[in-house]
Structure 1
Amino acid sequence: MRAVGFDVNGGPEVLRPVELPVPEPGPGQVLIRVAYAGVNHGEMCHRLGDFGAPAGIEVPGLEVSGEVTALGPGVTGLACGDPVAAYLPDGGGYAQYAVAPAAFAYPLDGISLRDGGGAALALTTAYGVLAGAARLAAGDTVLIHAAAGGVGSAAAQIARALGAAAVHGTVGSAAKADYAKRFGYDAVHLRDGFAEHVSDLDVVLDPIGGPTRQAGLSVLAPFGRLVVYGDAARRPDLSLPVLPLRRNNRSLAGYDLADLARRAPTVVRSHALSALSLLASGAIRLDITTELPLTAAAQAHETLQAGLNVGKTLLTVD
């Protein structure tokens, strides 16, 4: 089968077309003929070596859509030919065929394969960060960093659907601010100096890190929650004293989909199905801004690493 992989860590140029055997599904797994593969920050981190050096050729790709073509032992509730969106905790999505745990293969009832290609990770993360880690309640005020990204643009809409009273966003450039405003934000601020414009927030969602994360704590209301779910700035980790959290009635929470998939797969599935239900009903939309052929995966990574992406990027596979 055709795939894109890498055998050394490095820049986008290490991604190259490869030919690999079609994988076989093991117990509790399904084989998917991939139609679309989403492009995500986690795949960039994989390529850069955050998960260690590759052991031979490794194929990135954490979310796909396509049709089930084979079932591993013990799989029920799915059949060959079913269209699904799938989260791939072990990667492998940049390929014609990918193996996914059946628990993370979600039926696409009323959702196109195109939308499904960017849903299994991005929408699950957006919903899980808000409903799980942030414990969002009706009437809460929310600030979402990286407001123009695939997760950020979805999170703004999901926050509204879950009853948020006000939703603010931050972006890295004025051009991204114009884009982000399409998704129901009350206001979108430039990330530098955002703390001058907001205060007393119930929830801050931070996939950035560094000084942005430190500033996020300062704008929380009593019992406000800062939720960390990424480190796009690739800055050193913060060293935070605990006593100021207590003295200012602030909370710090974390969200990591890979860890949740290992330890609470039913929670991941619940979050994914809830988000897909909102997508199917039209309550939210997934804004796919870029479609590239599988062979252009390096180009997609260049844009992502330069911070120039908005919305969701898909690779068309089959």
Structure 2
Amino acid sequence: MRAYGFKSNGGPEVLEEIQVPTPRPAPGQVLIEVAYAGVNFAEVQHRRGEFGEPDGPGGYDVPGLEVSGTVAALGSGATGPAVGEQVAAYLPAFGGYAEFAVVDTDFVRPVGVLPLAHAAGVPCVYPTAYGVLTEAGRLHEGDTVLIHAAAGGVGSAAARIARARGAARVFGTVGSATKTQLAAELGYDALFVREDFEDAVREATAGRGVDLVLDPVGGPVRHAGLRVLAPFGRVVTYGDLGRDADWTADVWDLWKNNKTIAGYNIGDVARRSPATIGEHLSRALSALASGELPYTPPTVVASSDVVEVHRRHEAGRTHGKTVLAFTGHGAG
């Protein structure tokens, strides 16, 4: 089958089209003929080597954390989706940039009436958004929320989920002033340029601060997020886009000023509580199909353009969701 992988870590140019054997579903697994594969920043990190050197079949790793498509075969004992059913799936071990992918049934759910192109951008992004908001972030009705990397897939999903679950106001930060114009489109009350967000947040909240900060950036942004918390506010960390050195929080600052830091990592949840991923995926697909959550259609590109897509993601020149089209599904 056709796939896109890398044999050495590096820039987008290390991705290449390869031919690899079509995988066979093991017991409890599903084989999916991939229609679309979502693109996530974690796949950029995978390619760069932040998760280790490639060690897949033939020395290649195939990125891809989420797909949509049609069930092609079931492993022994697999229950749930039927052969021929259209599904979406989270792939904790990667492998989505390919014509076929295998995954445990815990991470596969029917798409219902949601178009496959839309569904491909759901399985990694939306469980992460639900997890950082409701599990790690303990979102309460009436909370004010600040979301960093607000124009990305997780950020824009989290903004809509927060609103649907009763957040009073939802603010975000973006890397450039040109993206602040996307606030209404992405569901925010306002977007601020990230390097100047502290004063903007204080002004917007009359000095009170925010109840919940979602932070995939790290470094100085994380320190600043702690400084703009309201009493009993929480910062949830779920990434390190800034690639800054790790730091140690001041426990006295947390204790004396009623602050909380929490963490969320979808890979750890997938290992230790796979049912949670399936539950969040089901909830998201249902809410999107019913219209409970508004959804901006993804940007669909041909899978052969994967190098350019990675280049744009790495440079921060995207907003919303991008999906790669496989098995004859054209870009649009």
Q: What TM-score, normalized to structure 1?
A: 0.98
Shift of 1:186: 1.1
1:246 aligns with 2:278: no
Aligned to 1:265: 274
Aligned to 2:128: 125
Aligned AA (2:24): E
- The verdict on how the C-alpha distance between 1:268 and 1:236 changes in structure 2, with shifts beyond 3 A counting, is same
Q: Structure 1: how far apart are the matches of 2:223 and 2:47?
A: 28
Aligned to 1:256: 265
Aligned to 1:142: 145
Q: Is the 8 A contact 2:301 2:323 kept in 1?
A: yes
Shift of 1:179: 2.1
Between 1:8-17 and 1:276-285, the stretch displaced more is: 276-285
- Note the 1:132-281 alignment, pairs <5 A: 132-199=135-202, 200-281=209-290
Q: Secondary structure at the match of 2:179?
A: helix
Aligned AA (1:24): R
Shift of 1:181: 2.8
Q: Is the 8 A contact 1:46 1:60 kept in 2?
A: yes
Shift of 1:239: 1.9
Aligned AA (1:155): A
Q: Is the 8 A contact 2:23 2:100 kept in 1?
A: yes
Aligned to 1:4: 4
Aligned AA (1:131): T
Aligned AA (2:178): A
- The percentage of aligned residue pairs carrying the same residue is 54
1:114 aligns with 2:117: yes
Cα-to-partner distance string for 1:207-252 (whole Å, 9 max, x where unaligned): 1111101100001111111000111111111222211101110000
Correspondent of 1:61 among 38, 52, 64 = 64
Shift of 1:98: 0.4
Cα-to-partner distance string for 1:251-307 (whole Å, 9 max, x where unaligned): 000010000000011111112212222111112233345222111111110000001
Q: How many residues align?
A: 318
Aligned to 2:330: none
Q: Structure 2: how far apart are the matches of 1:132 and 1:43?
A: 24
Q: Secondary structure at the match of 1:124?
A: helix
Cα-to-partner distance string for 1:98-141 (whole Å, 9 max, x where unaligned): 01111100111121101111110111111111111101011111
Q: Structure 1: how far apart are the matches of 2:52 and 2:190?
A: 39
1:315 aligns with 2:324: yes
Cα-to-partner distance string for 1:54-96 (whole Å, 9 max, x where unaligned): 1111100000000000101111121101111100000000000
Q: Secondary structure at the match of 1:44?
A: helix
Q: Is the 8 A contact 2:151 2:174 kept in 1?
A: yes
Aligned AA (1:12): P
Aligned AA (2:319): V
1:103 aligns with 2:106: yes
Q: Structure 1: how far apart are the matches of 2:298 and 2:156?
A: 12
Aligned AA (2:9): N
- The verdict on how the C-alpha distance between 1:289 and 1:109 changes in structure 2, with shifts beyond 3 A counting, is closer
Q: Is the 8 A contact 1:11 1:47 kept in 2?
A: yes
Aligned AA (1:18): I
Question: Which consecutive residues of structure 1, in runs of 5 or more, have no partner in the other structure?
Answer: none
Q: Structure 2: how far apart are the matches of 1:307 and 1:296?
A: 17
Q: Is the 8 A contact 2:183 2:190 kept in 1?
A: no
Question: Which consecutive residues of structure 2, in runs of 5 or more, have no partner in the other structure?
Answer: 203-208, 328-332
Aligned to 1:37: 37
Q: Structure 1: how far apart are the matches of 2:244 and 2:256?
A: 27
Q: Structure 2: how far apart are the matches of 1:276 and 1:128?
A: 15
Correspondent of 1:86 among 78, 82, 89 = 89
Q: Is the 8 A contact 2:180 2:190 kept in 1?
A: no
Cα-to-partner distance string for 1:163-216 (whole Å, 9 max, x where unaligned): 001100110112211124312211111101201021421100001111101100
Q: Structure 2: how far apart are the matches of 1:134 and 1:270?
A: 17
Q: Structure 2: how far apart are the matches of 1:256 and 1:79?
A: 30
